[in-house]
């Protein structure tokens, strides 16, 4: 009985964290699933949002979530430039070009962050991000709860958008069969651009919440990418519910891994699960 | 009904995949007509339909629809004008339900206001679709998917429908059903261009026909007259 | 697997000549820092050749080469702590790298494209964390993580390290030559062109990829072990660092992916860059990244590719070919 009680903290935290992880995977799911874009720098783009929010907080005392007003457009511009001027050309060059080029971009961004913000670990702290509250034996940081609630709201909004609006359905259709979607009267290019914009918004938001929740370094982009990818692979492309469950699994993997094997092993367990799932069932548990 | 043709394709050359597929094609569709395009595999029938729909653009020549030039328009423009292509094998969206497929068919702005009305109309013509409303398209049989494709095309509120190999690979029962719907579509005043390998069937429904061979129109005219032509008799009716 | 003896012998003499000359360098008083540049060149070339094999010829854009480098280095270091001689350590390092490659090939080969890239990206990260936590043999150099001294490395003569690297580099060059000029190379070209067609023509796709991956890992492990002898110590964050991937990718891309001579040309440039940029610290990788992206966009076939194209279009060359055709 004691054992179960002890587990209740990592389990609760893991579930809450899972919401955040689902959130970071949503952007990747759109970019990769709908637009079939291969962007190894996606995690580093999220990190850009994190560093921007950090700067706004430290220099202008602007609340990071409010700073998204600037963060989102910045991310959109960066992502757009990468997509239009680098990736579009890369596809035509060779099969390996998109991977190599986005790898290069990832390295560029990482080192840019290192120059601008130093290799030191940073965190975004606000009045609410450092508090925690207690329920019985559990101590839960407020930010974890915020992450989870934000994730739920956004996932719900996204799902309704995809299901109930013409544009959402158009994105869905274009990702299944671009040519047939055109025949429905859908302007595929415009729809893709819109999907991309949404993906960047999601990535920006995810970046801010990540910065509020964990300390980050210029190299954090890689771990964001791996986790986001892991969630996508676990939950399957194209399923928001799947993404949510994938997020939960990753969150629990990390917290339980840390509980059983020590704090330094948390990411190890998480990465290992991603690797194993990739090897066993790359299309995900809910995938098509 | 005026004397002006609804669709006028004039002397188009079309290239596909780097090779020339169509040479100097001229074709008209008059209001109220069903026009059939027949020919062997690889003759260019699909390419012609795709060009009319805006998926491919001709290298030479022009296409006019309702008096306006549409040669360089994109498919989504053509749909907005009322030209709807039902592609080969239907190409329904596999991970959307029947209802969602029909819903997305009314994407263009003209059709959006009429969505509910058109949906009821589609269900009248194709009651099977109502039965399978909530089924994912990928779980349907080939014939059912083709019906869904037709229904989906109707949702776009078209004036001219293009059917690419409507009956390909389907059973005679389904084919009968589809042709019944075709006649009902025509009765609603929607124009049709029919591309078929099933020559007998398509000539039965059509008013006029064009015979394509290796990218050229070799024969055209009213179906009744074509049937008399010796060449046609030999090639397609084994007389 | 057939070898065309004639094709293998092509150009072998100049290669042996160059190798012999390079081998003599330490004995004829070439300055130490030049030997260091050449040492790095040998190591980088070996790594780049292997990556060219995987990415250029097998379609495996492997981002997990640092795993093999680090494993080679760690095996060597650990074996020196157990008291085994260097040469044992190096060879076992290669074997460990190869075994590890066999292990991860099972999950990883089911993937393609970005899935493969991410899968291979995770592997060095896993090892990095693992070696930060795990200390296989006693003692540590630094407080954080399993940093190890390579015991006895300081006594290892510089000329010996130089020759070791030269030999490993030669091995990589010969392996590439062997692959490209035998039916293995044909099979690989077929796979790259169209995997399913190749499979239906009887090419055993999985086997070819598997053997390539494992063999490349072995040679990469060799190079890693040799590098860490010269370094004298090893620790996880730099051993399994993406910096390695950047080096071998850049060398291959600058020189010319899918060209036999590409990595050699590229490795020269990367060594030069390495020293030009050394003083700039963090900006060094930044600049390398920019160069990588730039070259991929502007000259995707690299220097060797560009040169080959120029040669093909030279008018005098064209006339000469016409003449020789007429004279038959």
Picking from C63, C106, C246, the nearest residue to A279 by CB comes out as: C106
Specify the DSSP element, H or E, that contains A132: strand A132-135
pLDDT tens readout for residues B64-92: 999 899 999 999 999 999 999 999 999 99
Q: Which string of DSSP letters, residue by residue, matches B168-187?
A: TT--HHHHHHHHHHHHHHHH
Q: Do C and A make contact, counting contact as 3+ CB pairs within 8 angstroms? A: yes
CA-closest candidate to residue A66, choices A218, A205, A173, A177: A205
Query: What's the confidence (pLDDT) of residue C142?
Result: 47
What chain A holds in terms of domains, given with CATH numbers, is: 2-280 (1.10.3470)
Query: What's the confidence (pLDDT) of residue B1?
Result: 47
Architecture of domain B7-237: 3-Layer(aba) Sandwich (3.40)
Contact assignment for A185 to B100 by CB distance below 8 Å: no
**Interchain CB contact of A265 with C (< 8 Å):** yes
d(CA B4, CA C215): 73
- Which chains are adjacent to chain B, needing at least 3 Cβ pairs under 8 Å? A
Tokens read off for C83: 């008291």
The ranges assigned to domains in chain B are: 7-237
- At residue A22, does pLDDT exceed 90? yes
Contact assignment for B79 to A238 by CB distance below 8 Å: no
CA distance C206 to chain A (A): 15
**Interchain CB contact of A116 with C (< 8 Å):** no
- Nearest residue on chain B to A166, alpha-carbon basis: B107
- At residue A152, does pLDDT exceed 90? yes
Chain pair A-C, CB pairs under 8 angstroms: 128
Report the DSSP pairing between strands B208-213 and B19-29: unpaired
Contact assignment for B100 to A169 by CB distance below 8 Å: yes
Picking from B94, B103, B156, the nearest residue to A185 by CB comes out as: B156
Q: What is the mean pLDDT of residues A25-29?
A: 90
d(CA A16, CA A147): 7
Would you say residue C172 lies in a domain?
yes
Contact assignment for A279 to C288 by CB distance below 8 Å: no
Strand order in the sheet with B19-29: B19-29, B7-16, B60-65, B68-69
Tokens read off for C133: 């936590």
Name the domain count of chain C. 1
Contact assignment for B95 to A184 by CB distance below 8 Å: no
Contacts of A183 in chain B (CB under 8 A): 53, 55, 75, 79, 84-85, 87, 91
The predicted complex's ipTM stands at 0.90
Q: Which of A81, A96, A102 best tests the C interface by mutation, with the highest count of C CBs <10 A?
A: A96
Query: What's the confidence (pLDDT) of residue A216?
Result: 95
pLDDT tens readout for residues B108-124: 999 999 999 999 999 99
Contacts of A223 in chain C (CB under 8 A): 125
pTM, full prediction: 0.86
Half-sphere exposure of C68 (CA within 13 A, CB side): 34
pLDDT band at A211 (very low <50, low <70, confident <90, very high): very high
**Interchain CB contact of A32 with C (< 8 Å):** yes
Would you say residue C168 lies in a domain?
yes
Query: What's the confidence (pLDDT) of residue C179?
Result: 85
Q: Do B and C make contact, counting contact as 3+ CB pairs within 8 angstroms? A: no
Contact assignment for A184 to B104 by CB distance below 8 Å: yes
Contact assignment for B104 to A288 by CB distance below 8 Å: no
Would you say residue C38 lies in a domain?
yes
Picking from A115, A233, A262, the nearest residue to C286 by CB comes out as: A115
**Interchain CB contact of B134 with A (< 8 Å):** no
- Nearest residue on chain C to A108, alpha-carbon basis: C286
CA distance C126 to chain A (A): 6
Q: Which of B57, B76, B85 best tests the A interface by mutation, with the highest count of A CBs <10 A?
A: B76
Q: Which of B98, B107, B151 best tests the A interface by mutation, with the highest count of A CBs <10 A?
A: B107
Phi and psi based region of residue B189 (left: phi greater than 0; alpha: psi -120 to 50; beta: remaining)? left
pLDDT band at A249 (very low <50, low <70, confident <90, very high): very high
Handedness of CA C148, C153, C159, C163 (dihedral sign): negative
Contacts of B216 (CB under 8 A, 6+ apart): B22, B23, B24, B25
Are B98 and B128 spatial neighbours (Cβ–Cβ below 8 Å)?
no
Give the residue numbers spanning the domain of C13.
Answer: 5-240
Phi and psi based region of residue B31 (left: phi greater than 0; alpha: psi -120 to 50; beta: remaining)? beta
Query: What's the confidence (pLDDT) of residue C58?
Result: 86
Residue-level pLDDT, tens digit, chain C, 328 residues: 455 555 666 677 888 888 888 888 888 888 888 889 999 999 999 999 999 999 988 888 999 999 999 999 999 998 988 888 889 999 999 999 999 999 998 888 877 778 888 899 999 999 999 998 887 776 545 445 568 888 888 888 888 899 999 999 999 999 998 888 877 777 777 777 776 777 777 667 788 889 999 999 999 999 999 999 999 889 899 999 999 999 999 999 999 998 889 999 999 999 999 989 888 877 899 999 999 999 999 999 899 988 888 887 766 656 666 665 655 4
Would you say residue C140 lies in a domain?
yes
Report the DSSP pairing between strands B7-16 and B160-164: unpaired
Contact assignment for A280 to C133 by CB distance below 8 Å: no
Contacts of A238 in chain B (CB under 8 A): 95
Contacts of A188 in chain B (CB under 8 A): 76
Query: What's the confidence (pLDDT) of residue C9?
Result: 67
- At residue A185, does pLDDT exceed 70? yes
Would you say residue C279 lies in a domain?
no
Question: Look-up: residue for tokens 């975004």?
Answer: A124
- At residue A2, does pLDDT exceed 90? no
Would you say residue C179 lies in a domain?
yes
- Nearest residue on chain A to C291, alpha-carbon basis: A104
Note which residues in 66-105 of chain B have CB less than 8 A from chain A.
74-76, 79-80, 84-85, 87, 91-96, 100, 103-105
**Interchain CB contact of B225 with A (< 8 Å):** no
**Interchain CB contact of B113 with A (< 8 Å):** no
Query: What's the confidence (pLDDT) of residue B207?
Result: 93
- Nearest residue on chain A to B53, alpha-carbon basis: A183
Helix axis angle for A2-28 and A142-164, nearest 10°, is 40
Helix axis angle for A2-28 and A220-235, nearest 10°, is 100
CA distance A164 to chain C (A): 31
Q: Which of A185, A192, A241 best tests the B interface by mutation, with the highest count of B CBs <10 A?
A: A185
The winner for highest mean pLDDT among A235-244, B154-163, B224-233 is B154-163
- At residue B36, does pLDDT exceed 90? yes
Contact assignment for C107 to A103 by CB distance below 8 Å: no
- Which chains are adjacent to chain A, needing at least 3 Cβ pairs under 8 Å? B, C
Specify the DSSP element, H or E, that contains B191: strand B191-196
d(CA C133, CA C127): 10
Picking from A166, A179, A238, the nearest residue to B107 by CB comes out as: A166
Would you say residue C259 lies in a domain?
no
Q: What is the mean pLDDT of residues B228-238?
A: 67
Are C256 and C265 spatial neighbours (Cβ–Cβ below 8 Å)?
yes
pLDDT tens readout for residues A38-77: 789 999 999 999 999 999 999 888 888 888 999 999 999 9
Contacts of C132 in chain A (CB under 8 A): 264
d(CA A21, CA A27): 11
- At residue B42, does pLDDT exceed 90? no
Contacts of B158 in chain A (CB under 8 A): none
CA distance B235 to chain A (A): 34
Contacts of A280 in chain C (CB under 8 A): 107
Would you say residue C326 lies in a domain?
no
Contact assignment for A184 to B94 by CB distance below 8 Å: no
């Amino acid at each position: 009985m004691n054992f179960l009680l002890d587990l209740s903290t990592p389990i609760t935290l893991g579930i809450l964290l899972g919401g955040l992880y689902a959130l970071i995977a949503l952007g990747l799911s759109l970019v990769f699933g709908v637009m079939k874009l291969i962007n190894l720098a996606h995690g580093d783009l999220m990190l850009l949002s994190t560093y921007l929010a950090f700067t706004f907080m430290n220099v202008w005392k602007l609340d990071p979530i409010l700073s998204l007003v600037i963060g989102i457009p910045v991310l959109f511009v960066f992502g757009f430039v990468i997509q239009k001027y680098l990736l579009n050309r890369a596809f035509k060059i060779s099969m390996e070009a998109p991977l190599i080029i986005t790898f290069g971009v990832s390295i560029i961004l990482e080192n840019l962050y290192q120059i601008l913000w130093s290799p030191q670990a940073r965190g975004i702290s606000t009045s609410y991000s450092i508090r925690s509250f207690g329920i019985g034996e559990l101590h839960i940081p407020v930010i974890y709860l915020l992450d989870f609630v934000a994730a739920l709201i956004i996932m719900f909004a996204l799902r309704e958008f995809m299901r109930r609006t013409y544009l959402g359905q158009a994105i869905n259709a274009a990702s299944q069969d671009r040519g047939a979607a055109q025949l429905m009267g859908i302007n595929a290019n415009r729809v893709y651009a819109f999907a991309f914009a949404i993906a960047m918004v999601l990535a920006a938001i995810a970046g801010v919440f990540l910065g509020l929740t964990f300390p980050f370094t210029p190299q954090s982009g890689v771990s964001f990418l791996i986790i986001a990818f892991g969630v996508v692979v676990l939950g399957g492309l194209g399923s928001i519910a799947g993404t949510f469950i994938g997020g939960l699994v990753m969150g629990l993997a990390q917290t339980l891994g840390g509980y059983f094997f020590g704090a330094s092993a948390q990411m190890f367990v998480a990465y290992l699960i991603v690797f194993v799932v990739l090897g066993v069932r790359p299309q995900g548990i809910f995938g098509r | 009904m005026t004397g002006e043709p609804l669709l006028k394709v004039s002397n188009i050359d079309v290239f596909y995949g780097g090779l020339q597929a169509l040479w100097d094609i001229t074709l008209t569709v008059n209001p109220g007509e069903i026009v059939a395009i027949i020919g062997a595999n690889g003759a260019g029938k699909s390419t012609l339909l795709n060009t009319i729909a805006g998926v491919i653009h001709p290298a030479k020549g022009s296409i006019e629809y309702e008096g306006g030039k549409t040669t360089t328009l994109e498919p989504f423009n053509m749909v907005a004008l009322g030209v709807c292509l039902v592609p080969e094998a239907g190409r329904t969206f596999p991970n959307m339900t029947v209802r969602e497929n029909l819903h997305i068919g009314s994407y263009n702005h003209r059709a959006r206001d009429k969505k509910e009305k058109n949906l009821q109309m589609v269900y009248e013509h194709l009651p099977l679709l109502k039965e399978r409303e909530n089924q994912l398209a990928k779980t349907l049989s080939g014939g059912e998917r083709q019906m869904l494709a037709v229904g989906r095309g109707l949702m776009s509120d078209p004036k001219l429908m293009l059917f690419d190999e409507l009956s390909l690979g389907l059973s005679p029962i389904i084919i009968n059903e589809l042709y019944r719907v075709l006649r009902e579509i025509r009765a609603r005043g929607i124009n049709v261009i029919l591309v078929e390998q099933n020559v007998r069937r398509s000539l039965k429904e059509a008013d006029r026909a064009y015979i394509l061979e290796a990218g050229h129109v070799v024969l055209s005219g009213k179906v009744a007259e074509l049937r008399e032509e010796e060449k046609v008799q030999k090639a397609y009716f084994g007389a | 697997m057939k070898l065309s003896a004639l094709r293998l012998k092509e150009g072998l003499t100049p290669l042996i000549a160059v190798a012999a000359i390079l081998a003599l360098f330490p004995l004829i008083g070439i300055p130490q820092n030049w030997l260091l540049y050449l040492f790095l060149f040998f190591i980088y070339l070996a790594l780049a050749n292997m990556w060219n094999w995987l990415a250029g010829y097998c379609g495996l854009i492997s981002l997990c080469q640092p795993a093999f480098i680090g494993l080679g280095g760690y095996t060597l270091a650990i074996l020196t702590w157990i008291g085994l001689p260097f040469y044992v350590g190096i060879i076992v390092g290669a074997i460990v790298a190869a075994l590890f490659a066999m292990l991860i090939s099972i999950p990883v080969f089911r993937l393609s494209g970005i899935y493969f890239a991410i899968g291979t990206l995770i592997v060095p990260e896993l090892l990095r964390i693992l070696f930060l936590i795990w200390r296989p043999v006693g003692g540590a150099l630094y407080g954080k993580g399993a940093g190890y001294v390579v015991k006895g490395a300081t006594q290892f003569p510089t000329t010996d390290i130089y020759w070791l690297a030269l030999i490993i580099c030669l091995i990589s060059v010969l392996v590439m030559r062997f692959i490209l000029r035998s039916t293995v190379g044909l099979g690989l070209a077929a796979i790259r062109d169209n995997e399913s067609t190749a499979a239906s023509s009887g090419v055993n796709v999985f086997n070819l990829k598997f053997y390539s991956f494992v063999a490349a890992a072995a040679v990469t492990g060799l190079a890693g072990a040799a590098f860490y002898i010269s370094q004298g110590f090893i620790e996880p964050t730099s051993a399994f660092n993406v910096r390695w991937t950047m080096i071998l990718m850049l060398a291959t891309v600058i020189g010319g992916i899918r060209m036999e001579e590409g990595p050699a040309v590229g490795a020269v440039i990367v060594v030069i860059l390495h020293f030009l940029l050394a003083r700039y610290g963090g900006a060094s990788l930044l600049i390398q990244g920019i160069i990588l992206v730039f070259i991929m966009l502007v000259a995707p076939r690299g220097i060797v590719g560009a040169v080959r194209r120029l040669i093909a279009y030279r008018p005098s060359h064209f006339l000469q070919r016409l003449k020789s055709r007429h004279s038959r």
